[in-house]
Structure 1
Amino acid sequence: MDKVTYVAELERTIEDFMRKRDKMFSKGFLNSDGMKALVRILKMAVRAGLIDKSSGISRYLKSREEGEVLAILLSLEERLCARS
């Protein structure tokens, strides 16, 4: 897939994560389903060129708190909008 395809898929995946937010978190922290979804989103962001692979995905996965995870997703959405 090319970067344009990854960007479109990334937008859909972030929207889907936000819609299912109540299923992705438990007691304010990311559960296992949410972690899998977040890893998928971050991998797509690397492929789309929004995140530098050398910085490492693990940097984004240090915190599992709901507020910090949502902040990461919102910053990715802002980067997507800036590219459009």
Structure 2
Amino acid sequence: MCTDLGKDDFKLLFGNNLNRIRVSKNLSFRKLAQRCDIDYSNLNKIEKGKINISLSTILELAKGLDIHPKELFDFEIDEDN
């Protein structure tokens, strides 16, 4: 499976997917922050893979985006990296 995937790489993939979903819903950082209990400056850090987040943050993101939490993890992992 993804044994060679590092934590930082995973956070980046997660962040890229979060960005894709947020942009597809035409939400700014501030607008998404208003819809969930996360500071807008932290949303930018999450999308850039700068911080590690908790399960409760994942739930808040899903609520703010009006999606199932599993959609935040719906991204491809390149096994060659």
More helix by share: 1
Relative contact order higher in (CA < 8 Å, ≥ 6 apart): 2
TM-score category, normalised to shorter length? 0.3 to 0.5
More strand by share: 1
